[in-house]
Chain A
Amino acid sequence: MAEPSDPNAPWVNPAGMITVAITAALFIFFARYLPVVPVEGAVPFVWDWIPSLDIRMSFWLDGLSLMFALLITGIGALVMLYAARYLAGHPQYNRFALYLFSFMLSMLGLVLADNLITLFVFWELTTFTSYLLIGFSHTDPKSRRNALQALLLTAAGGLALLAGFILIGITQGTFELSQLNAAGTMAEHPAYLGILILVLIGAFTKSAQVPLHFWLPNAMAAPTPVSAYLHSATMVKAGVYLLARMHPSLSGSDVWVWVLTLFGATTAVFASFMAVRQTDLKQTLAYTTLMALGTLVLFLAGSTGYAITAAMTFLLVHSLYKAGLFLVIGIVDHETGTRDANVLGGLARAMPITAAAAALSGLAMAGIPPFLGFIAKEVAYAGALEMALTVFVVVMAFAAFALMFAVALIVAWKPFFGPQGDLPRTPHEGPWAMVLGPATLAVLGLLFGLMPGVAAYYLIEPAVAAVMGAPDTGGRLKLWAGFNLPLLLSLLTFAAGYLLYRFHLDLRERLARIEARAPDLDAGWDRLLDAFVAFAKGQTRVIQTGVLRHYMFATFAVLAVAMLATMLLRPVGGVSLAFDGIGFMEWGIAALIAAGTVLVILTSSRIAALVGLGVVGIGVALIFIVYSAPDVAITQLLVELLVVVLLAVALLKMPYLDAGNRQTHRPFDAALAVLVGGLTAWVLLRVTDAPFDRRLTDFFEGASWTEAFGRNIVNVILVDFRTLDTFGEIAVVIVAALGAFALLKGGLKRGPEGETAPHAEKERKE
């Protein structure tokens, strides 16, 4: 991956520093609510956005959103600072800073929004900004492909979510989360299952639950600061946030418990194995993120105090250590030029601060006392024991935590304290702007562990209260909870984890072999897109053939079918042919027109066709003459004359009608032609069969002379009663003349093949 990192490039530039400053300021702004929220519960902000659609830009700052807001802005500021140094000298750094900042704001909006539609707006904004971030190395096809994959998958989930939200709005009568949650669970509502499924699709795609997980490791194409940010506090946690946010209104049914438990547990264990399988440390971390998401979903399945507390505590812990570790890996990559777990080792001497940060984060991840990670694990086991499907949950959690222990050693211990590796570059300590982030986060993980009461009071308990939809009793976070079953499970986890680490190389090989045989969802994605494009091309081949005849046939066929079907489905009455009063002359005219028509159809001689057309035209004119329309008849005759003259002039320069492609036999065309003709005749018969309302004509006849001073009623209609028609009509004549003139006179200078390319032609000669 080409991530330029010129150590001498100036990295303190306005774009970077402004975004860092604003984000830090936001962090302070939210931090000031830390003492407020535990006391007051929630702080709303409302702006009426689209009142007529019941969509308000309303925000709601309670324990849950406050915790997220702090993580987003706090980690955001550190990551942005880190990125300024990491991407120093990159020609598109300014864009990067802008995207990262926009992403931060979108995420902030998402976690603060109270109105579901507002929430959705921000939800999609995070999808879009993360698309730009993942595709940041846009010249790399893989990067583009992965960005698109992430976009399409999360957008697909987003659309399901939108449907779910709309359904909630329609069935519950409000889009405000605060009202929905206050009303309690909607599990009794008939639309509940539909809503739940739609919302879960949205949340699961965004939070990469198995089997929709594969986009997440691919999103690693993004530069490291993005990974750190996306995978720690934010984007992928949006789904978890949503589940937590809607817990009071959506939980409370067996479906909720089962689905979340199964998907969460499967994701957690699967991802843990995959994490061990990887050799690229960034990939390893990506899969541990997946594990964390699975775990969070798993515990959100529960509704007891311990389960929710476990979810919230683990959320906090994970955000801190995962961001830290990603940043550490970035430094390692930056300094050594590799992220390969098999190569890296013994870096502690060269980069002691980074190593210390990595160690602290790793210990938190492994869940060693006295880190907050340990407490999280204890609470998690306590929660698991309270949940439905107890044995399953405990076993899965145990497996996941044990594997996590091993991964922590692989990521945070081995590269720094393991045997010296053969590195592409001689490592040095990272620059302070990059080290600050991981160090701060690592220390926080330790501090919270030492003072669990602080974290519990200000962050976790308000969040738990928000998720539970009821005030939290608290007091669950303790570094030492006495000898109990969770402690025993913790000790067993350490033992199992250590064993796994000892044999992880062996395990990795086995996993690689299994993986080779398992279906590859990522490749399946490509096949899906290929199949879609193939389908599209097939459809285009069938519909958009490029052949006028086919288009024409389809158009007439649609007309015929539409009319015929209507006639069959709706009563239109039968046909009665009344030929009384039709004399010899009329039949003669009809025969003339018929003869002309047949001649045009059958002949392949240009002259004969012209004659046929002329005969038809004269026949029609005769009808007009006989039936009291002299103006129309004269016009018809003159126009017919002009048409024949123009046709004659043009036809003589053109090939014979059927030069080279005489189609003698076209039964389908003939059948369609007869059908359309017959239908038209039938409808006209039925229409003229009924009595006629002459009130417009009567008016014209009465007013033509008395009010418009003209005795030729037809002409008066043309130039007075309906002048606008006539005006439009002469406009058509003139535009037709202009168009034809431009066509005939304005073509390119033509030789047989001497065409210039059209767009070269279009350059204006200035």
Chain B
Amino acid sequence: MISWLLVMPIAIPFATAVIAWLARMGPAGRWISLFGSVLSLVASLALLMAVLENGVVAAQMSNWDAPFGITLVADYLGVVMVVITAITGLATAIYALGEIPERMEKLGYHALFQTLIAGVTGAFLTGDLFNLYVWFEVMLISSFGLLVLGGSREQLDAGIKYVALNLVSTLVFLSGIGLLYGMTGTLNMADLRGAVAAVENQGLVTVVAMMFLVGFGVKAAVFPLFFWLPASYHTPSFAVSAVFAGLLTKVGVYAMMRMFTLVFTGDIGFTHELLIWVSLLTMFTGVVGAAAQMDFRKILSFHIISQIGYMTLGLALYTPLALMGGVFYLVHHIIVKANLFLVSGMANKLAGSTDLNRIGGLYKSSPFLAVLFVVPAFSLAGFPPLSGFWAKYLIVKASIELEMWFVAFVSLLVGLLTIYSMTKIWGMAFWKPHPDGIEPTPDRVPASVRLPMMIPIVGLAVMTVVIGFFPEPFVQFARVSAEQLLDPGAYVTAVLGEGAAAPAEPAAATDAEPVTEPASETGGQP
């Protein structure tokens, strides 16, 4: 049963994609997509229940035991990412009802969207390195399609850069997988933990780890590999950019967290120390980059980069509290950043542009939207008692505990500069009167468009507030996630079975004894 709980969050979006595509010519497609998103959420919540009950759950696909087949596994971090993906997916599926034009639906918007969700979810659930690559590709190719869907000239230009840089990172990652396989003979991530530790040439392991760091670094958009993100995120439709902003970079961060807590822990003094500096530079250059922009979505894009730095910092500091902060940050940021992009779409609809110089007056005419902007914006800036404050608090506290004053200083400074950018949007889009004298009241948009766009904005804002006011369960959850990451014993046991949690023996031919049960129910040995 656990097995199917793990499968469903991946299978449902795929099935939805197929059906929605076959129905793409009529209005049914969007409702199918919406229904599929609801089902995905239900399935991921069911998985969450299972994880809360059992700690870490794992299942062997095709019924071949690890490390021979492909394992799906969900620990606290994995499952929370799945749930949050489903939430973001549902939010944007609702939003798309209002925003996505029929023309794009006929070109297969919903199918691409659902495969994107499937790819992201697969990446969070897989316990196999090569399989992770495959999910990365599913996600990537779907995102390519979504990014250029609609085909404006800006989108094509953005697409070229996005595609080019992401393909390079993918190939670096793929080569890294090949080399790691060459060193250990295995692909299962839990199995790799022991196998990598047993490799004689640890220096070489670190070199390969660098390839992974660069590959994931491009995906996560860390300094100085983030170019593709500000080059592209402001160009597609708003629903698409919200999903991208919420999820895509997080997959890179997640992969980094997974690999650099589970597998590459042999040379923390080098890899993680390096990552601290990378994180700090990411935080700083991102937030500074935002200050130079005058477009709603471009500002938000640079802030994604900046916030990614906090998450990787949580990993880099590598203490329970820091990782806890990193996990908390990850979850909080998906909700908040996706929501901000959704708000920018609504602002665009009402005021006619995302260029801050060309819009204004939203505060006076659409006070409700103003509130809905303030919540995620100030959460992003780390204002208490919103979710972002606790995330920042954990990271800062972790760095102060380590007596890393400079790290704490940069974390706080970046928070301050984030306020600057958020208030810039607030001042120019909301407080300032509209330069053309337009009153951007909500009824400028028909209710059939406005309602679907506002519902997810409200929902995500409520979540931000709830996490902010009642953080205890979320903090607890993040704490367990961090513990599981720092001590992957339960993860390894869940994947490989009892007795495997200890570091695996060095490579030996005798290991090849098949420990799997044959698929005896249906076949049996000939």
Contacts and interface: CB of A to CB of B under 8 A. Distances in A.
Given A121-B384, A683-B208, A692-B182, 19 more contacts: A50-B471, A50-B475, A152-B420, A533-B291, A554-B227, A558-B224, A559-B210, A573-B203, A687-B182, A692-B507, A695-B511, A699-B68, A707-B519, A725-B131, A738-B21, A739-B112, A739-B145, A742-B145, A755-B152
Given A50-B472, A570-B202, A731-B118, A762 B237 contact: yes
Interface stretch (B83-91, B134-142, B241-249): B134-142
B326 interface: no
A551 B186 CA distance: 34
B270 A566 contact: yes
A607 interface: no
10 contacts: A138-B432, A536-B292, A543-B285, A686-B204, A692-B507, A724-B62, A728-B119, A739-B149, A745-B107, A761-B101
Interface stretch (A161-169, A210-218, A322-330): A161-169
B456 interface: no
B329 interface: no
A167 B398 CA distance: 11
A691 B68 contact: no
Contacts of A558: 214, 217, 224-225
B331 to A, nearest CB: 16
Given A570-B206, A732-B141, A746-B107, A764 B98 contact: yes
B153 A159 contact: no
B278 to A, nearest CB: 10
A144 interface: yes
Given A144-B431, A167-B400, A746 B185 contact: no
A764 B101 contact: yes
Contacts of A53: 390, 393-394, 471, 475
B183 interface: yes
Interface string A166-206: 11011000000000000000000000000000000000000
A577 interface: no
A728 B168 contact: no
A166 B396 contact: yes
Interface string A734-749: 0110110111011110
A532 B420 CA distance: 11
B154 interface: yes
A735 B165 contact: no
B412 A163 contact: yes
B78 interface: no
B185 to A, nearest CB: 3
B514 interface: yes
Contacts of A688: 182
Interface in A138-157: 138-139, 141, 144, 148, 151-152, 155-156
Interface stretch (A74-82, A635-643, A656-664, A715-723): A715-723
B21 to A, nearest CB: 7
Contacts of B519: 707-708
Interface in B412-434: 412-413, 415-416, 419-420, 423, 427, 430-433
Interface residues of B, number: 146
Given A50-B471, A573-B203, A732-B141, A559 B514 contact: no
Interface string A517-542: 00000000000000011011101100
B124 to A, nearest CB: 14
B459 interface: no
Interface string A611-633: 00000000000000000000000
Interface of A: 49-53, 92, 95, 117, 120-121, 124-125, 128, 131, 135, 138-139, 141, 144, 148, 151-152, 155-156, 159-160, 162-163, 166-167, 169-170, 532-533, 535-537, 539-540, 543-544, 546, 548, 550-552, 554-556, 558-559, 562-563, 566-567, 569-573, 680, 683-684, 686-688, 690-700, 702-703, 705-709, 720-725, 728-729, 731-732, 735-736, 738-739, 741-743, 745-748, 755, 758-759, 761-766
Given A151-B419, A721-B62, A765-B101, A684 B509 contact: no
Given A162-B412, A688-B182, A746-B103, A735 B145 contact: yes
A536 B126 CA distance: 40
B99 interface: yes
A758 B111 CA distance: 22
A551 B163 CA distance: 12
A3 B222 CA distance: 48
Interface string B338-353: 0000000000100011
Contacts of B408: 163
Nearest to A49: B472
Contact of A166 (B72, B385, B397): B397
Contacts of B270: 566, 569-570
Contacts of A555: 165, 168-169, 214, 218, 225, 227
Contact of B112 (A544, A735, A763): A735
B185 A694 contact: yes
Given A124-B383, A152-B419, A702-B514, A563 B211 contact: yes
B416 A721 contact: no
B76 interface: no
A722 B7 CA distance: 15
B250 interface: no
Nearest to A51: B472
